[in-house]
Amino acid sequence: MRFGLILPVLLFFLAACQTHDPRGVASDGETIRYKVAGTEHIGFIASGAKPGEKKPGVIIVHEWWGLNDYARSRAKQLADLGYVAMAVDMYGGGKIATHPGDAGAFSKKAMSDFPLAKKRFEEAMTILKARPDVDPDKIVAIGYCFGGAVVLNMARAGVDLDLIASFHGSLASPMKAKPGVIKGKVLVFNGKADPFVKKEDIAAFKKEMKVAHVNFEFFNYEGAKHAFTNKGADEYGKKFKIPLAYNQKADADSWSQFIKALKTL
């Protein structure tokens, strides 16, 4: 399935994902290289599992900037809690955008070819599941902005995930969940003051989940704008004149709710 029908709207939404926080580079972890459709991809894995342990594996899908320090820092956070996390490369070649124009081009290309996006996601999933410190029966996916839309669509496409979490991600999609397809719990963390997620999209998403009998929770944070989990949001909001803002309360609660769900696996 292709995404051409909603690309203009999606790209406008993705313009809000311009928050690249240069702080917090993970000091631990490893960069890995792997091939998808003949192209080299560059991922990042951080593990906090003890010798002999098998822990849930978490796939992290980056913002529209590409796999940057922010995505790596989230992987390290999960490793610090004893999990194994892989920040994936959804663009190929480890592309990193430093300008909104490039980020828009990268994300447009990635979203317009869902079969390739699915291959990229599933190859990363295969790598993660094959690790001796990962329980292959407990795989989780989380995403931010662009990444939030990606993980929701992977779930809609039937990728076998035990928990899916979208942080300030797009909800609108030409793909619709069908009954029995999404087996894992879905968590959506949204900013109530986010102008890029319309009330109609929220209503349609909730209806979609209910019709498909999906176990889901929707968190709508009062006063939280787009990119509320990223500490660089205010700076980049001002720079690019986009309504972005970090919200400490929403960031802390959304992470806490996600970890709470993760601990149930």
**Angstrom distance (rounded) from CA 152 to CA 228:** 19
Domain that holds residue 250: 4-262
Q: How many distinct structural domains can be found in the chain? A: 1
In tens, the pLDDT along 209-237 reads 999 999 999 999 999 999 999 998 888 88
- Name the nearest CA neighbour of 153 among 120, 129, 195: 120
What is the CATH classification number for the domain harbouring 168? 3.40.50.1820
pLDDT tens sequence for the chain (265 residues): 444 444 444 444 444 454 443 333 334 899 999 999 999 999 999 999 999 999 999 999 999 889 999 999 999 999 999 999 999 999 999 999 877 788 889 998 999 999 999 999 999 999 999 999 999 999 999 999 999 999 999 999 999 999 999 999 999 999 999 999 999 999 999 999 999 999 999 999 999 999 999 999 999 999 999 999 999 888 888 888 888 899 999 999 999 999 999 999 9
**Residue 221 contacts residue 251 (beta carbons within 8 Å):** no
Cα separation, 189 vs 166, whole angstroms: 6
